[in-house]
Structure 1
Amino acid sequence: MSEPFCLRKAKVNQMLKIVTVSAAGELGRRIRDMGLIPGTECKVIGKAPLRDPVALRLKDFTLTLRNSEADHITVREQEG
């Protein structure tokens, strides 16, 4: 099993599973409201030229996160 790492460090086309969301308060609520909760599988589908923001595909939609938001999300690479 792979070691958890920060979502900011994920590579394009990498399949991931969210391990933790460490943001608190309004930011934490907003992140969770977008469906980014522990156990959710997602895929990094793109990054802007300066690596900010990062585009994710999860469930049936695409969303983008700033690196400052992605820093609060710990993921693990999905195997298989």
Structure 2
Amino acid sequence: MDLDVSILSFVVALPGVAVCMLNMYLRDNNTSTSSRELRPPALYIRSKRFPWGDGTKTLFHNPHVNALPDGYEHHE
């Protein structure tokens, strides 16, 4: 029984992971860098301020990813 499971993982799982890696590699190469660098608009509305700091930043705020109510901090 254990031998069947290990053979199955080599025959199905490893080629499946390889196909997924190839798919992401090819998709990444076809995507232009300008479309990857665009930031999406903030898709949420805050009705209350946060109870810490100045009330605009989340607890684990990342200025490159998380938008503030008036937009992103860094305009690169």
Structure ranking higher in helix proportion: 2
Larger radius of gyration: 2
**Fold-level similarity (TM above 0.5):** no
- Higher relative strand content: 1
Q: TM-score, normalised by structure 2?
A: 0.21
TM-score in terms of structure 1 length? 0.20
Higher relative contact order (CA 8 A, sep 6+): 1
